[in-house]
Every structure is written in C-alpha cells, then in structure tokens.
Chain A
Amino acid sequence: MTQDELFAKIAARFPKIEKAAVPVKDYLTVRLPSKDDLLPLAQWLKTSGFDYLDMLTGTDFLGPVDMKGYIRQQNFNVFLPDGATPEIESAATPGYAYKPVLDLLWSFVSIKERARVIVKLEVPRDAARVPSLAGLFKTADWQERETFDLLGVTYEGHPNLVKILTPDFLQGHPLRKDYAHVKDRFDD
C-alpha cells in the first residue's frame, strides 16, 4: 500500500485529518485536529490491520534546551584549558519557529501490509492531557508512563500513570526544554 492510498483510506473515514506539514521522512504522517479524534482513529486503525502500536513519544518545541538541566558543565574537550568556553552550548537556530507546544506522536504498524502511519497531535505545554491508548494496546502502558515521566504528558484513563525511569526524588520532567536540575545527594 502506498502512502497516498493509505492516506486516502484514512481521509475517507476521518475527513478532518490532514497530512502533517513536517512529515517524518519516508513515512505517512498525519496530524489530528484535536485530542478527541485520537481514540476513534486508534480504534479504527486497530480494526483495519494497524494493530501493532510501535512507538509513542513526544517533543517539546519550546526552544533550545536549558543548560541548567544538566548536572555537569558541558565542556567536552578535556584538552581545553580550564575556564575555556565549552565547544557545544545550546543555542537557538535562527529562523526556526519554536513554539510552546508538546508535539505528541504515535506510530502504528500493519504487519500484514508492511505499512506504517505516524499520527501527530499538538497539545499546549501547560495542559498536556490526551486520552490513553492503554485500553486498546497493552504496549501503551509502559510507553505512556515513560512519556509522562520524561515529558509530563498526562494520559487520561491510564490505569497506573506513575514515574517509571527517573528516581522518585527527581522533580520535574527532564525532557522538557526548560527543565532545571535540582541538586540532590547523588551530585558529585
């Protein structure tokens, strides 16, 4: 199935869904108009062959990453003298349109058709709430917990939405661009 055929099939059922402006290279990428469309689409995909939820994650598009989020000085070149400017500092790329949103992503695979469709949805950073897919795909359970832990997305209806990778005492969500590290007893 080519990307266009696949998109035509999806568009026939969900006319509001559009192709994403920035696609994930080589794969069909569609954008959801609102979070209410996620569950119907996932349900429909599951019954029409796309029953393998490969991956779910998100990206924080706030801007360049805050260096306060790192424990150590990012001075990679050990041969540089003390006090020299680090080789790599996080910096904004001129001309790139950063925006305060979390761009969430789900990737569905049809093993039989050998096809993949990537679904994207933008949510505001301060109200990142989307419905959970854990009821449809068991694999969503841990992956949603991971995204919750690292990006602070609340998956509504998840049976056990608690931290999974970071330690209990860690405050905040490390993969958010404005994350700042709070000193703890394991530093240095």
Chain B
Amino acid sequence: MTNAAELKTDQLFINMGPQHPSTHGVLRIGLTIEGEVIVKAVPDIGYLHRGTEKLAEVRNYHHCVVLTDRWDYVSAMPNNLVFCLSAEKLMGLKVPPRADALRVISCELNRIASHLLFFGTYGIDTGAFTPFLYAFREREMVLDLFEMLCGARLTYNYIRLGGVMVDASPEWRTRLAEFVEYFKPRLDEYDTLLSFNPIFMARTQGVGRLSAEEAVNWGLSGPNLRASGVDYDVRKHDPYCGYENYEFEVPLGAEGSCWDRYFCRVREMRQSVRIIEQALAKLPEGPTMATGVAKIPKPAAGEAYAHVEASRGELGIYLVSDGGISPFRMHVRAPSFVNLAMLEKTLVGMKVADVIAVLGSIDIVLGEVDR
C-alpha cells in the first residue's frame, strides 16, 4: 500500500433508478460510494403511489376488491383475500367451506407463481439468465390455470365478499392436478440449476446478513423474516381459511443472508404444492358463495383487522366503518413497504456490486410499496 496516498478516492454519488432493470419497478436509490464501498444509501419511493387508501373511501366494498389487485400485481389473490377477510369480519359473514378451500388453493398457486418470478429474476440479477426461462415456463402454466379459473392472468378479482367468484370446474381441477404432478420434479431441477450452483452461492451466501433480533426489529415478514430463523407465519400463528387443517412446514433459514432468503422461497414452493394437493383431495362439496351478501353492503360501525401470509409477507388490512357504504378508512400493512425499509441501513458498508443481490433478495413489488 505504498501508493495509498495517490490512490485516494473521493465520495461519489450514484443515482440508481427509477428506471433500472434490477429495481423491478420504479424504485430510486441514491448511493454514495467511496471506492467500491457504500457509505450512504437513500431509497426514494412513491413513483407508483396511486392513493388506493384514499380511493377506497368513495367506493363501495365490492369495488374495493378491484383496487386490491393493483397493489401486489404479481400475487393478487392474497390481496383480494385479505380485504375480503377484513370486510367479512366487519359484516359478520360466514364463508362456506368450499369457498375457503378454493381460496387456499388459489392463494397457494399464486404464491408459486410469485416465487417463480422471484426465482427467475433473482437469477438474472445475480448473472444467471437460464433459470429465468425455466421459471417462466412453469409460471405461464399457473397463469393459464388462473385464466381458466377466472378469466384474468394477473388482476383476478376472483375472491369476492362472502366467497369466490365461480366454482372451479372439474376440468380445471384435473388440469391443476396435472400441473402439480408436473411441477414437483421441476423443484429439484431448480436446485441443481441455481440453488446449489457454486457461482450463485458464492455470490449470495453471507451477503446482506441480518440477525433474528434485527429482522424482528425491522418488522420484516414472510420469507425475509424466516430466513433469519424467526418462526413467524400468519398461516400458523393466526390461521384463516382453515389453514390449521392442512399439514405443512414453515421453512426457516439460518443466518438471514441473501441465499437464505432465496432458499426459503424455493422451499416454500414445495410446501405450497403440499397444501394444494391436500386441498384438492378433500375439497368439500357445497356452495362457493355465502348467502345474504348485500349488493351494496353497509356494515355496522366498527373496526376490523385481518392479515394473511401473502407471498411477500404479512399483508394486513385495517378497516374502519362508520356504517356507510364505503370504508371510512382503509389502511394497508404492505409487506414490501415494511421490508424495503431495511435497505437504507443494511446497504451501508457493502460493496456496490452487492446492492442488486440484496435488493433482489428482499423481493419487493413497487405497486405494493407505493400503493
């Protein structure tokens, strides 16, 4: 280091985004670097803010379900579900068991589609293009299944107040069973393709580590929290839609590094497949929509909170009703928004090349961050 004095670098400001392929949307990060090391990172969000919480205040409850699709648009089923659960709590609606099972199936299927998108794009983020093609081959099948079920590929509006839009046809159930059989061996393929690829592991293991206490303090949820070894899954802790009747495990990581966050999601897909299989095997007979759902519901004045384990973490809705036809107040506890907050502090001290590895591993959807 004899030339240290001549090699001294000044601080440099780098603007990343909002139009950048690796930010998966319109996220801007202002990075201050010194050589290769980040000394300051300032995430700038809000480019996709559409004010859905405000819009909900002049729409009736059925209309609000449509708004929910637009938050996390790559996994919209849980969004539909959480609003319906919360509104059903306010209205005191009881959902028939067949609708519950269909809700579980569609949400888990959506989790697979969402995690496949993560799997593919995270490979691209870290320099492996091939897994993306495999992931999208399977994701396409899931989206086809959704199209067959409710006519939409991304914004479903399938889960409605009191149940689901339509019953699943026998052909759809056959197609789903075929997909599940096809998909199971693919998961092993993914592990050989990317999970245990030495280059990928060297790129992500030990990067962006987060201890369990820190993860809890940051309020992370979903695979991000579980990668740090904290066993918190809403499906187990506060079961909804009869999740207590299904057998599944909650995959946990060890050290909360990027690879742990990645591998938690890959293992979660396996559990989702298990849940879908069980739900398909014991799909109860009966109606798929509760009776007595008003065309324009007017729940009694009160407050309700419902939360679900969405693909990205704990998605919660806090609803206040004043007895009118629109929610008086709707607040979304958006997992992507809360998870992203940790970026500001965790990036400091890292190499600039690791920004993408960390950002990709948090798996955000900007539609949900900004709402």
Contact = CB atoms under 8 A, between A and B. Distances in A.
Given A59-B329, A138-B219, A139-B218, A150 B238 contact: no
B322 interface: yes
A105 B305 CA distance: 12
B46 A24 contact: no
Contact of A164 (B46, B318, B324): B46
A96 B323 contact: yes
Interface of A: 22-27, 29, 51-55, 57, 59-60, 64-65, 67, 69-70, 74, 76, 88-93, 95-96, 98, 105, 107, 111, 114, 116, 118, 137-139, 141-143, 146, 150, 163-167, 174-175
B66 to A, nearest CB: 11
A175 B237 CA distance: 31
B333 interface: yes
Interface in B290-319: 301-305, 314, 316, 318
A54 B340 CA distance: 14
19 contacts: A24-B318, A26-B304, A29-B303, A52-B216, A57-B318, A59-B331, A65-B54, A65-B58, A70-B58, A91-B324, A93-B322, A93-B324, A95-B323, A114-B237, A116-B238, A138-B214, A138-B341, A139-B338, A166-B46
B244 to A, nearest CB: 12
Contacts, number: 124
A111 B338 contact: no
Contacts of B302: 22, 25
Q: Most chain-A Cβ atoms within 10 A of its Cβ — which of B304, B329, B344? A: B329
B301 A93 contact: yes
A138 B325 contact: no
A25 B303 contact: yes
Contacts of B338: 139, 142-143
A150 B51 CA distance: 9
Contact of B318 (A23, A55, A139, A165): A55
Given A93-B301, A96-B322, A165 B45 contact: yes
B60 interface: yes
A64 B326 CA distance: 10
Contacts of A69: 54
A137 B219 contact: yes
B217 interface: yes
A118 B341 CA distance: 22
Contacts of B216: 51-52, 111
Contact of B333 (A22, A55, A164): A55
